[in-house]
Structure 1
Amino acid sequence: MNSTFKCFVLVATSLFIAGCATTTSHLNKPVSFADLNGWSDQPLDLLKPSLLNSCAVLREDTFADESGWGTYKQWRYLCKELAQTPERQLRSFFEHNFTPMQIAPNQKGLFTGYYSPVIAGSLTTSDYYPVPLRTLPEDMIKVRPSDFNVSGKELIGQVQNGYLTPYKDREAIEQQLIGDEASLLWLTSAEDKFFLQVQGSGTVQLEDGTIIHVGYAGNNGQDYISIGKVLQESGELTEVSMQSIKQWLKDNPDKQQWLFNQNPRYIFFKQNDKSAITSQGVPAVSNRTLAVDPTIVPLGMPVWLDTTLSATGEKFRRLMVAQDTGSAIKGAARGDIYLGIGKAAAILAGQQESLGKMYVLVPKSVTVEPEAGGQ
C-alpha cells in the first residue's frame, strides 16, 4: 500500500484532499464517458460513501487554482452536490459534472493488488509469540527541510555525536532487543510481520478472540526494495507472486532473514479504531479503494480503472477512489487495488499484476454558488 509516495510515503498526508498540490500533465488525454469500456453498466454501490469520506477531509491546500484538477471551491461544491444526489442518479451526476482524463495514454498502466491480513498475535512476548510489531521509536527524529528554507522531502534520522544521521536500516533495527513497552503486539513469525509491513495495515486476533486493528505509523526513511525483484534478479524465481515468495521462504528457512534484510525500509505500527485505514485517513473499501502515486493523482479523486483480475482473468472495470499510497506505487498509470480482508483477498492480491488503463475524473468548469456568510 506507495507516489508512492513524494509528498510523503505509505501513509502520507491526506491529499483530497490533503497534502501537496499536483498538476495535470500535457501527456494526459481528455476523453468522453462513452470511451470508458463498461461505464454504462457499472454498479456504483459503495462508491458514494467512499467519496463522501474523502470529501470530509477536503483541504484548501490540496488543489491550486492552476493544478488542472479543479479548485478547492469546485470540489466543495461537488461534494455538497454528491451528498444530495440519490444513488440511482449517480451516473448522471458524474457525466454532468466531470470529464474523464486518461493518465499517460501512450504507456501501459500496471495494476497490482493489496489486502488486509488477519494474523495471530499477543499483547506480551513468549516462546510462541517472539516477534515484535514495533511502534515508532523514541530516538527517531523527523526534519522538514522547509523549516530551514531548503527544498526536499522530509528527513528521517537519529542524532549521533551531535549530528543528524540516517535512521537505522531493517537489519540494524531487527538486532535491537526490546520489551513489551516498545512493542504494540507480538506475532508468531517474522514472515507474518514482514508481509504485514508490505500491506501497511491489518488485523491481529488475540487468543481470547479479541480483534486489534493495526496500521502504518511511520517508516525509517530508508529506500524500499522489492524482495520479489531480488529473488528474480538472483535467479531464485522466474515468476514472482506473493505465493511464490512464500513458497521460497518455506523452502529456504535459513535464508529468510537475509531476504527480508534486502529491503532496508522498516514500517512501524499503531493501533487503529477500524481495519484498513488508508493514507488519506479514511477506511479502505474492497474493490473501491485504489492506491496511487499522489504526485501524479491527488488522493480523493474518482478514478476509472480498466484492467483485469489476474487470478480469474475477469475484466475489472469500475469507478474507484484514489485514497491510498504505497512504497512501490510510483509513476503514472500505476495503481494498487484494495481487494479486502483475509485469506481469499490474499490469494487475489498475491496474483494481481495486470496491464490496463487509468482515467481520472476531473471537474468540468462549474459555477460555484457563494456560501452563506461570505465564506
Structure 2
Amino acid sequence: MAPSPQPVAQRWVAVDWQDLPGWGSDELLAAWPALLGNCQRPAAGWAEFCARAALQTPADATEATLFLMKHLRPWRVASGSGDTGLLTGYFEPQLPASRTRQGAFQWPLHALPSDPALRRLPRRDIDSHPRFAALELAYLDDPFALLQLQIQGSGRLVMRDATGAERISRVAFAGHNDQPFESVARTLLARGELRDASWKGLSDWARNNPAKVRDALAVNPRIVYFREEPLTDAGQGPRGAQGVALMPGRSVAIDRSFIALGTPLWLDSTEPLSTTPLRRLVLAQDTGAAIQGAVRADLFWGWGDEAALQAGRTKQPLRLWALLPQGVTP
C-alpha cells in the first residue's frame, strides 16, 4: 500500500486518547475481525502491529481497547475548513434478476468491453449497440434498480435455476465508461415530473411512465460495468478498494488523497435521523467518486432492504481520528 500523501501531515494533529469522544464505549470485539482483515493487505508501517494483532485473542472489549492504546496513537483529522465534515452511507443492493431476458426482466447489466472505444460509449448508445448483446450478464425487472446497482458499485442478484431453486450471486465493479455522472432524480424533480426522489419513488414513476424511462436514464451518460463472482459466504460483504471484504457497520469509504486505505479511524457522529451518538472504530477499506475531502466518510451498512434504508438516511456531521502505529506519522 502507498503511504499517506504529503498534504495529510498539514491536516492531522496528534492528540490523547481521552480526546476521542466515547473512546472505551465501543464493543471492539465486533470490530476485531475487520481489523484483522485489514492486515491481509497492511499499509506501510503496519507490519509489526499486524503481527502482534494476529497473536491476540482479546477476552473482552476492555482488553481489545488496551491493546490498541498500547500499540497505536490517535491523530485528529482536519481540513482547511475545520474538523467537522460529512458522514453518508452506502450498501449492497440485493435484487431479483433473470439469466435471460423475459417478462419484466428487460434491463441488462453488462460486462466490461475489451475494446476501449466501445467501453467509453455513453448510456444512450449502449442500449442500441449490437455488440453489447454478448456482454449482458443478467437482467433486472426495474430500470432504477439497475441505476441503483450502478451507483452503489456492487450487488447481489437473486435468481432461480432450472430446478426452481434460489441462487444468489454477486456482481462487482469492473469499470465504467469514463462519462460524467448526472443525477436522473434531480433532472426529473426540476422538470416537475417527480415529487418523491427515493428509489421507491423513482421505481413508481418508471411503472407509471414506461415510454419515458429510456430518455430519463439517458440523462446520466455514465454506465458501470460488472463482473460476476460466486457468493461463497453470504455473511461477507463485497471487496472494497483495499481488496478485503467489507464489514457492515465497520468499513468506510474515504478520500485516499487524505487518508490511506487500511487506516483505522475513530468515528464521531450520530445515528441516522437521530441525536443518539454514533461512535465506533471503523476501517478505511473503500473509496468512491463522491467521497471527497479529509473529514469525509461513507459508512457501509451491509445488504438488503434495512441496509438500504439506513444508507439512505445517513447524512450527518462527522469528526474523525486516525489511529496509527506508534512511531508512524502521517
**Under TM normalisation by the shorter chain, which class is it?**
0.7 to 0.9
Instruction: Tell me whether 323-332 or 25-34 shows the greater mean CA deviation.
Output: 25-34
1:287-310 deviation line (CA, Å, top 9, x unaligned): 001011111111111011111222
**Residue in 2 that maps onto 1:223:** 180
1:224 and 1:365 mapped to 2: Cα distance?
41
Matched, 1:276 2:238: yes
The one-letter code matched in structure 2 to 1:95 is M
- The match for 2:66 among 92, 114, 119 is 92
Matched, 1:32 2:16: yes
The one-letter code matched in structure 1 to 2:25 is D
Question: SS state of the match for residue 170, structure 2?
Answer: strand
1:85 and 1:137 mapped to 2: Cα distance?
45
**Taking structure 1 as reference, are residues 229 and 92 closer, same or farther at Cα in structure 2, changes over 3 Å only?**
farther
1:119-142 deviation line (CA, Å, top 9, x unaligned): 1112222233221110001212xx
1:152-186 deviation line (CA, Å, top 9, x unaligned): xxxxxx28xxxxxx921222223324576311212
1:316-363 deviation line (CA, Å, top 9, x unaligned): 111000111112111221111111110111111112111111111122
Matched, 1:130 2:106: yes
The one-letter code matched in structure 2 to 1:75 is W
Per the TM alignment, residue 21 of structure 1 is displaced from its structure 2 partner at its CA by 4.8
**Taking structure 1 as reference, are residues 97 and 226 closer, same or farther at Cα in structure 2, changes over 3 Å only?**
farther
Alpha-carbon RMSD across the aligned residues, in angstroms, is 2.7
Question: SS state of the match for residue 100, structure 1?
Answer: strand
**Taking structure 1 as reference, are residues 27 and 234 closer, same or farther at Cα in structure 2, changes over 3 Å only?**
farther
2:194 and 2:266 mapped to 1: Cα distance?
33
- The match for 1:139 among 93, 106, 115 is 115
Question: SS state of the match for residue 46, structure 1?
Answer: helix
Q: How does 1:362-373 map to 2 (within 5 A)?
A: 362-365=324-327
The one-letter code matched in structure 2 to 1:260 is L
TM-score (norm 1): 0.75
The one-letter code matched in structure 1 to 2:102 is S
**Residue in 1 that maps onto 2:53:** 82
**Taking structure 1 as reference, are residues 228 and 335 closer, same or farther at Cα in structure 2, changes over 3 Å only?**
farther
2:188 and 2:268 mapped to 1: Cα distance?
30
In percent, how many aligned pairs have the same letter?
Answer: 30
1:167-220 deviation line (CA, Å, top 9, x unaligned): 212222233245763112121121111101111111101123011111111111
2:326 and 2:185 mapped to 1: Cα distance?
42
TM-score (norm 2): 0.85
Confirm or deny: 8 A CA contact 2:170 2:228 kept in the other structure.
yes
1:6-65 deviation line (CA, Å, top 9, x unaligned): xxxxxxxxxxxx35752323122222221111111111133222122221123xxx5xxx
2:193 and 2:96 mapped to 1: Cα distance?
29
- The match for 1:289 among 241, 251, 259 is 251
**Residue in 1 that maps onto 2:234:** none
Per the TM alignment, residue 259 of structure 1 is displaced from its structure 2 partner at its CA by 3.7
**Residue in 2 that maps onto 1:211:** 168
Confirm or deny: 8 A CA contact 2:254 2:291 kept in the other structure.
yes
Matched, 1:110 2:110: no
Matched, 1:121 2:97: yes
The one-letter code matched in structure 2 to 1:337 is L
2:2 and 2:205 mapped to 1: Cα distance?
39
2:129 and 2:96 mapped to 1: Cα distance?
23
Confirm or deny: 8 A CA contact 1:289 1:337 kept in the other structure.
yes
The one-letter code matched in structure 2 to 1:104 is A
**Taking structure 1 as reference, are residues 325 and 232 closer, same or farther at Cα in structure 2, changes over 3 Å only?**
farther
**Taking structure 1 as reference, are residues 225 and 108 closer, same or farther at Cα in structure 2, changes over 3 Å only?**
farther
**Taking structure 1 as reference, are residues 129 and 41 closer, same or farther at Cα in structure 2, changes over 3 Å only?**
same
Question: SS state of the match for residue 309, structure 2?
Answer: helix
Residues paired across the two proteins, number: 313
The one-letter code matched in structure 1 to 2:12 is N
